[in-house]
Chain A
Amino acid sequence: MKEINELNLPDDLRYADDHEWARVEGDKVRVGLDDYAQDQLGDIVFVELPQVGDTFKQGGEFATVESVKAVVECYLPVGGEIIAVNSALEESPELINKSSYDDGWMVDVKPTDLSEIDALMTSDACLEKLKGAE
């Protein structure tokens, strides 16, 4: 497993407590799992995604990610409607391990209230939190 200084937490994203990331792209928000979460889980073997059109509140359980011996629920960092899901994860769940911020994205959300994103952590805050937990 990675040491904290080995983690990749890009500056342009916001992070939730449970290690989902959110990136504002125009009027949508793209969501995935951060480097810390994918590293802790290890080899990801299965991802269960929501349907396009489903809606969730901020913090709603929208997906499940499984490794061989662990399973985590993912919580939507910004409330809204799911407008796209990364169906490539069905066949290749390992994309989250290989490319958690690009090819391994999970869903696109049309946010109900974009200001919710301000409550999320910056990469620095996220790092500080991890250091504190050590």
Chain B
Amino acid sequence: MNESLGDTGLILNDPLLWEKGKKGRCGFSLPRRDVESAPLREDLIDEGPDFPDLSEVDVVRHYTRLAQWNFGVDTGMYPLGSCTMKYNPKINEKYASLPGLAGAHPLMPADLSQGALKMMFELEEYLTEITGMDATTLQPAAGAHGEFTGMLLIHAFHVRKGASRSKIIVPDTAHGTNPASAALCGYRPVAVSSNEDGILSADAVAEVMDEDTAGIMITNPNTLGLFEENSKEIAEIIHAKGGLVYCDGANMNAVMGVVKMGAIGVDVMQLNLHKTFSTPHGGGGPGSGPVCIKKHLEPFLPVPRVVRDNGTYVLAEDYPESIGKVQAFHGAFGVMIKAYSYIRRMGPKNLNKASQLAVLNANYIKERLKGTLHLPYDRPCMHECVFSDKHQAAQKIATMDMAKRLMDYGFHPPTVYFPLVVHGAIMVEPTETESKEDIDQFIDAFKAIVNEAKEDPDLLRDAPRSCKVRRLDETTAARKPCLAG
């Protein structure tokens, strides 16, 4: 352990905000009072919120210490499968905080908002081109929100045809947001299993597809990190019965410049700007989930839409068949700026290269770890590979134990116990921004841990030892919930 990343830390404790401070302190420069106090009806007010009073130093130390208890991509490798934890370029942050963009009011007249509208218009064009679709809306605020928007579009499409359908096909490998998003639109998800190769067979889809089924939600590449090889044939089956194909594009990082989803039968898909397009996750968000569609869904897109008219950009509302709005304003504009600047910095060749290297890194890990860990689907993978804890069963060591031990070696664990079709799944997505040396170090750490599992399994069961806290009691947290102090 002496040579590894995770030795010790300089971790200082800090109490909760309201356990600090003293009444009368303030960490905010109160603006000058240049008007008289006006009369105010007493019955409208009370004593105000019970917030602690803290100085600026109190606040700065508090959050600096909290930050040190956290691990981010900037700290080290974060191979969380299906989350695409690639490096977040710093220049993107600078652009998002440019005063004209960060300070812009969303309801200003269009002629005073040309820069923002131009950026949005161009970003829509770029995403449309990358996916091979016909148009894009930037309004959805996250991947699941994009899925929901996509389902609304499909729903509107069928309603206009006078046939509201009641079901939607969702493979067993799908992320939980898929069935939940479909259910929000009143669709009943119909499960379909993947075959022995870990992908969907056309026959399995044909068996469940009928005229009461609105379409299929298909994640491609799927959550096993495999390309859905039969997707074109599946799309034909769905289309033949009047259904539409929704593609969960969360894993688009594998195929930029390699596959255009619009060319393989996809009618509507979402992108996750906070995955493929390098915007940071911020500990859970904000994200942005643009939806790209084919021509026949365009009338239903959310409003307002950014339109170019004689070289100027306007916000157009006049789309009578639109599903309406999914956000009060234009979506997560601040996130869009970062994705935009990423695409402009990368250019077409580097975006394609990024996908190639993401797939290279994942296959390299798969090859080098497959003797060490059980690999349920031994086939070429895309941007991620899925192992299991089957080989460790004899030592009664589970995926979670290995995941926690990785922390002591200075790595964020992979996604664990997902997808559900693999028992004890370990889903590794290195992304293209990890160098060969960092990946080799990760592989060596995993090998060492598997060795420890045989020789000293308690090292795993007691892990982690080098974080701010040891394993936490999630049972009591759920039994006696304490959600506020």
B479 in the interface (beta carbon within 8 A): yes
B98 interface residue, CB < 8 Å from A? no
A88 to chain B, nearest CB (A): 14
Query: Please, what's the 1-or-0 string for A8-27, where 1 marks a CB less than 8 Å from any CB in chain B?
Result: 00000000000000000000
- CB contacts (< 8 Å) of B479 on chain A: these are 43, 45-46, 93-94
Given the complex of chains A and B, what is the CA–CA distance between A46 and B478 in angstroms?
Answer: 8
Those of A1-59 within 8 Å (CB) of chain B: 43, 45-46
Within 8 A of B (CB), among A64-93: 66, 68, 93
Main secondary structure of the interface of A (DSSP, over half): loop
CB of B19 within 8 Å of the partner chain: no
User: Roughly how many angstroms separate A48 CA and B228 CA in the complex, as a whole number?
Assistant: 40
Question: With A and B bound together, what is the CA distance between A43 and B479 in angstroms?
Answer: 9
B474 at the interface (CB under 8 A from A): yes
Q: How many A-B residue pairs have CB under 8 A?
A: 13
User: How far apart are the CA atoms of A94 and B480 in the complex, in Å?
Assistant: 12
B434-485, CB < 8 A from A: 474-475, 478-479
Interface hits, B24-38 → A, CB 8 Å: none
**Interface band, chain B:** under 10
Q: Would you give the shortest CB distance from B419 to chain A, in whole angstroms?
A: 15
Taking the closest CB of chain A, its distance from the CB of B420, in whole angstroms, is 11
Distance A46 CA – B479 CA, assembled complex (angstroms): 6
User: Could you tell me the distance between the alpha carbons of A46 and B475 in the complex, rounded to whole angstroms?
Assistant: 10
Q: Mark A89-101, 1 if CB is under 8 A from B, else 0.
A: 0000110000000
Nearest CB of chain A from residue B424's CB, rounded to whole Å:
13
Which residues of B are found within 8 Å of A68, using beta-carbon distances? 474-475, 478
> Bound state CA distance, A94 and B479, in angstroms?
9
CB-CB under 8 A from B478, the residues of chain A are: 45-46, 66, 68
Q: How far is the CB of A19 from chain B (nearest CB, A)?
A: 20
> For residue B478, which residue of chain A has the nearest CB?
A45
* In the bound complex, CA of A66 to CA of B478 (Å): 9
B165 to chain A, nearest CB (A): 25
CA distance A93 to B478 in the complex (A): 11
Cα distance, A66 to B479, chains bound together (Å): 10
User: Which chain A positions have C-beta within 8 A of B475?
Assistant: 43, 45, 68
**Complex CA–CA separation, A45 to B475 (angstroms):** 7
Residues of B within 8 A of A43 (CB): 475, 479
Residue of A nearest to B475 (CB): A43
A131 to B378, CA, bound (A): 30
Considering only CB atoms, which chain B residue lies closest to A66 in the complex? B478
Q: Which residues of B contact A46 (CB under 8 A)?
A: 478-479
Residues of A within 8 A of B474 (CB): 68
- State A94–B473 Cα separation when bound (angstroms): 15
**CA of A19 to CA of B258, assembled, Å:** 49
Query: How far apart are A69's CB and chain B's nearest CB, in angstroms?
Result: 8
Residues of B within 8 A of A66 (CB): 478
Nearest to A92 among chain B residues (CB) is B479
Nearest-Cβ distance from residue A15 to partner chain B, whole angstroms = 25
A45 surroundings in chain B (CB, below 8 A): 475, 478-479
User: B residues within 8 A CB of A94?
Assistant: 479
Question: Whose C-beta in chain A lies nearest to the C-beta of B417?
Answer: A69
Shortest distance between the CB of B65 and any CB in chain A (Å): 28
How far is A61 from B26 in the complex, measured between Cα atoms in Å?
55
Q: For residues 91 through 118 of chain A, which have their beta carbon under 8 Å from a beta carbon of chain B?
A: 93-94
Within 8 A of A (CB), among B240-283: none
Instruction: Give Cα A93–Cα B475 distance, bound, in whole angstroms.
Output: 11
Q: How far is the CA of A83 from the CA of B474 in the complex (A)?
A: 34
User: Closest residue to A93 on the B side, CB-wise?
Assistant: B479
Cα–Cα, bound, A66→B474 (Å): 13
Shortest distance from the beta carbon of A48 to any chain B beta carbon, whole Å: 14
Return the CB mask of B317-353 against A: 1 if under 8 Å, else 0.
0000000000000000000000000000000000000
CB distance from B404 to the nearest CB of A (A): 16
Instruction: Tell me the complex Cα distance, A93–B476, Å.
Output: 11
B72 to chain A, nearest CB (A): 25
Give Cα A68–Cα B480 distance, bound, in whole angstroms. 12
Smallest distance from the beta carbon of B183 to chain A beta carbons, Å? 15
CB distance from A49 to the nearest CB of B (A): 16
C-alpha spacing A58/B474, complex, angstroms? 35
Q: How far is the CA of A65 from the CA of B475 in the complex (A)?
A: 14
Assembly CA distance A43 to B475 (angstroms): 7
- What separation, in Å, do the CA atoms of A109 and B286 have in the docked complex? 49
Determine the residue in chain A with the shortest Cβ distance to B479: A45
Q: How far is the CB of B334 from chain A (nearest CB, A)?
A: 33
Q: Nearest B residue to A45 by beta-carbon distance?
A: B478
- Residue from A43, A46, A93 having most chain B Cβ neighbours under 10 A: A43
Query: How far is the CB of B301 from the nearest CB of chain A, in Å?
Result: 36
CA distance A43 to B474 in the complex (A): 10
Shortest Cβ distance from residue B272 to the other chain A in the assembled complex, whole angstroms = 24
Q: How far is the CA of A94 from the CA of B474 in the complex (A)?
A: 14
A6 to B475, CA, bound (A): 24
A-B contact list, 12 entries, CB within 8 Å: A43-B475, A45-B475, A45-B478, A45-B479, A46-B478, A46-B479, A66-B478, A68-B474, A68-B475, A68-B478, A93-B479, A94-B479
**Extra pairs beyond A46-B478, A66-B478, A93-B479 (6, CB < 8 Å):** A45-B475, A45-B478, A45-B479, A46-B479, A68-B478, A94-B479
Among all A-B residue pairs, the 6 with the closest Cβ atoms: A45-B478, A43-B475, A45-B479, A68-B474, A68-B478, A68-B475
